[in-house]
Structure 1
Amino acid sequence: MKKLSLLAGFLATSMYYAQIKFEEGYFIDNSGAKKEVLIRNVDWKNNPVDIEYKTDNASKVQKETISNIQEFSINGGRKFIRAKVMLDRSSGNLNSMSYTHEPDFKEETIFLKYVVEGKAGLFYYEDGNLRRYFYSSESSEPKQLIYKPYYIDQASIAYNEDYKKQIAEQLKCGITAEQIKRLDYTTKDLTKTFIQYNECSGNQIINYEKKDEKAKSLIHLNIRAGINTSELNVYEPSNITPSYHFGNKNSFRIGLELEYVLPFNKNKWAVFIEPTYQYYKNSTEVVTLPGSLFETRYTATADYKSIEVPFGVRHYFFLSDKSKIFLNAAYVLDFALNSTVTIERSKMDIESGGNMIFGAGFKYDKFSAEVRVGTYRGLFRNYMYVDGDYRAASFILGYTLF
């Protein structure tokens, strides 16, 4: 177990050297000059206020802010423009929602992300829980598409859906009244509508939503098999040291992991659940009153089987398109299966608690390897006068089915 812990530490330290790549792109400064540079692509969840860039791979990293950039783009990916807009930051949170139908506009200078570029342009802005769409027509300045939930009274919510009226007035080719009636304030619906209008008008378009598909959320199913190195201890009342130490034991474990890769920050974050079967079986000889006339020997046996269900978060550090290092942490719910500890003629049922696990690993294409260490897990929740714990370190090999 100690060796596995050291290996996990080594892998974690090595992740320091893995980072998001600088990718080819450009920005246009206030003078209108277009500069071809390498931009640090962090796959922004929130619209950025600055960028980091290098003039070439060997140069130092520089930063430029929104006050000095009119536009920037990463080749084959996202494009942002600076715009001075009237922005409504009204909250959609039930605890802070307003009672006003009208948007509360304030002038701000922000970067807008292109969703559809054409005669009629669609833009997106996100800042924390705030999500807003903007449109432009015939190269006009972007204007917000208005959507606002608000209270009518303490028990009733209404919705200002003026974005439907705006679209009906501005996009008058190929869009029916029935479509607008069913139009939701979502990227999918708005993108489809703006593409339909531009195609009907015979205009060239760039669909950045389609170009950005690789950054969308992904769901993976992974088979995960490996070896546990485990130890189990039982404590009697008032004893700090284990009364029964069953020692380290190697055993097989197998699980099925469902991983959801989050659609931001360059797909570096994921959440997962991994139901896993594990078992530990060992025995130890116990000697009481050794060397005396009343010396007694007997065998204590631990038979522990369970389904572990970790709920965790994972962070990837990309080394190349196919290889990456990762760190993860999870809380484990454990469900014991007919598990007991037998001491002389006394048999105690194991009722296990939860614990934390921490892991580090490497993935290449569909194959992965991970070293994982868990904290101590209680075993006898239903007993007042006996205690016990279990701890495991694991070496896990994985294969991604999809």
Structure 2
Amino acid sequence: MKHFFLFNALLLFFTVSAQNFKQGYFIDKSGNKTECLITTDIINESPDGNLTYRLQDKGTINTIDCYGLSEIAITNVIVYKKYNVKVETSSKRQSELTAYKNLDLVNKDVFLEVMEKGKLTLLGLVDNNNLQFYYLKEGMETPELLDYKEYMGGESKSYILKNEFYKQELLNIMVDAGFSDQDVFKVAYTKNEMVDLFKKYNLVFGGRVEMNTTERKSTSPIKFFIKPRIGFSMISASSLYSDKSAVQNPYSKSEFSSKFVPEIGFEAELKVKNALSFFLVTSYHSVKMNSDQIIYGNFSPIQTIETELKCSSVRFILGIRKYFEIHKNYNIYVNGLGVFEMVSKDSYSKTMPSKFNLNNEIGLGLGLGLQFFKRTFVEVNYEFKRNLTSDYQFLNTPFSTLSLSFMYSLNK
């Protein structure tokens, strides 16, 4: 048990230490600028909630509420500025698209990424993997949203149509550069094409400000998540002499009743893409199970004996996880698991009535889970049978686990 807690402490330390920080700064609402090292997990999604930073390399990790900030930047990577703007809130999922083309707008304070700067500035908001573009002309204080929305249309509302009013808006604000509708209407609502168009516009007037993002491609947006884990496992096991010649009389199979046991653990998740991650789980459980075993003679049972299985183990689970968005606040995900069962020295299978020490074993598993409101997780995992007495040629003790686990991410 002490090794379990020691390993978790080390895992927590290395997970936190492995967070990627780059030189940058933030400015509060009073205009005070703080030079610091900022976590790179803001690269793929506009900052919200708390910002994680260090004042110096290898220094203490701090957090600050983004509510009190007006600007956040990672040097040569990305710049965010806060504005109160209209945000389109309707779902982008096909099953939840509305049947009308008008945008569902609300006013919100959000951080917008500065993507192109000049006479005409392009800004972007990434919220729940949805990208929205804004423009800011010289003399304007508040960015304007470039309208775009997908919705269901047709007689049966079975076709996906697009409200692409942003094209007319772009034509209106770029007419002074001599752009035609052919120049503008071919531009898709994507970052690369929007940045190229705004760059061409600003070059016409010679007022383009070069955005230095030279380190963007080499900066890792990898996210680490730290999750305490608690749950219950239903453990199933049996014991059978696979080689009848190894014993004097044949023995029946010991069928241990399935048993629910509490389980505690810890998970470190490494998110390499928005929908894909790798994770490492350490957990501990202990179970003691009893059953009857019949010894047979030539023609009839001779004796019924009590058998026992005791297993205390630290389990290391290395897995891959794939997320699927079902709602802006909910994701489902599937797990692929590789399980290493490290049993304690006092674990055994008692039959015949000899005691046989259990051995460490590797197995596989699958799981299904639900993530809601970003930080809360519920999942069910099934670990396929593995033989905990594989060191003995004549004894087979298949052991499987069905678990229900609850997790809460300590970081967002």
Secondary structure at the counterpart of residue 99 of structure 1: coil
The match for 1:117 is 117
User: For 1:389-400, what aligned pairs fall within 5 Å after superposition?
Assistant: none
Q: CA deviation at 1:110?
A: 0.7
Q: CA deviation at 1:311?
A: 8.5
Secondary structure at the counterpart of residue 206 of structure 1: coil
The match for 1:99 is 99
TM-score when normalising by structure 1 = 0.52
Q: Are the equivalent residues in 1 in contact too, given 2:320–2:337 (CA < 8 A)?
A: yes
Aligned partner of 2:87: which letter? Answer: L
Q: Are the equivalent residues in 2 in contact too, given 1:125–1:133 (CA < 8 A)?
A: yes
Distance (whole Å) between structure 2 residues aligned to residue 214 and residue 58 of structure 1: 21
The match for 1:251 is none
Does 1:204 pair with 2:208? yes
Match of 2:181 among 161, 177, 183: 177
Q: CA deviation at 1:111?
A: 0.8
Q: 1:114 to 1:59 in 2, by over 3 A?
A: same
Distance (whole Å) between structure 2 residues aligned to residue 47 and residue 126 of structure 1: 5
Secondary structure at the counterpart of residue 102 of structure 1: coil
The match for 2:145 is 144
Does 1:159 pair with 2:162? yes
Secondary structure at the counterpart of residue 202 of structure 2: helix
Q: 1:97 to 1:17 in 2, by over 3 A?
A: closer
Q: CA deviation at 1:264?
A: 6.1
The match for 2:320 is 312
Does 1:239 pair with 2:253? yes
Distance (whole Å) between structure 2 residues aligned to residue 100 and residue 176 of structure 1: 29
Q: 1:137 to 1:12 in 2, by over 3 A?
A: same
User: For 1:32-111, what aligned pairs fall within 5 Å after superposition?
Assistant: 32-49=31-48, 50-57=50-57, 60-111=60-111
Distance (whole Å) between structure 2 residues aligned to residue 234 and residue 389 of structure 1: 9
User: For 1:225-264, what aligned pairs fall within 5 Å after superposition?
Assistant: 239-240=253-254, 262-263=272-273
Q: 1:180 to 1:64 in 2, by over 3 A?
A: same
Q: 1:70 to 1:240 in 2, by over 3 A?
A: same
Match of 1:168 among 171, 174, 179: 171
Identify which of structures 1 and 2 has the higher relative contact order when contacts are C-alpha pairs closer than 8 Å and 6+ apart: 1
Distance (whole Å) between structure 2 residues aligned to residue 73 and residue 43 of structure 1: 9
Distance (whole Å) between structure 1 residues aligned to residue 121 and residue 73 of structure 2: 16
The match for 1:330 is 336
The match for 1:23 is 22
Aligned partner of 2:34: which letter? Answer: K
The match for 2:364 is 355
Distance (whole Å) between structure 2 residues aligned to residue 178 and residue 240 of structure 1: 78
Secondary structure at the counterpart of residue 146 of structure 1: coil
Aligned partner of 2:181: which letter? Answer: A
For these two proteins, the number of residue pairs brought into alignment is: 263
Q: CA deviation at 1:162?
A: 0.8
The match for 2:371 is none
Distance (whole Å) between structure 2 residues aligned to residue 214 and residue 199 of structure 1: 27
Match of 1:193 among 176, 183, 197: 197
Q: 1:91 to 1:58 in 2, by over 3 A?
A: closer
Q: Are the equivalent residues in 1 in contact too, given 2:40–2:221 (CA < 8 A)?
A: no
Distance (whole Å) between structure 2 residues aligned to residue 15 and residue 102 of structure 1: 49
CA RMSD of aligned residues (A): 4.5
Distance (whole Å) between structure 1 residues aligned to residue 62 and residue 319 of structure 2: 39
Q: Are the equivalent residues in 2 in contact too, given 1:85–1:107 (CA < 8 A)?
A: yes
Distance (whole Å) between structure 2 residues aligned to residue 211 and residue 59 of structure 1: 23
Q: CA deviation at 1:86?
A: 1.1
**Worse overlay, 47-56 or 182-191:** 47-56
Q: 1:39 to 1:13 in 2, by over 3 A?
A: closer
Aligned partner of 2:145: which letter? Answer: Q
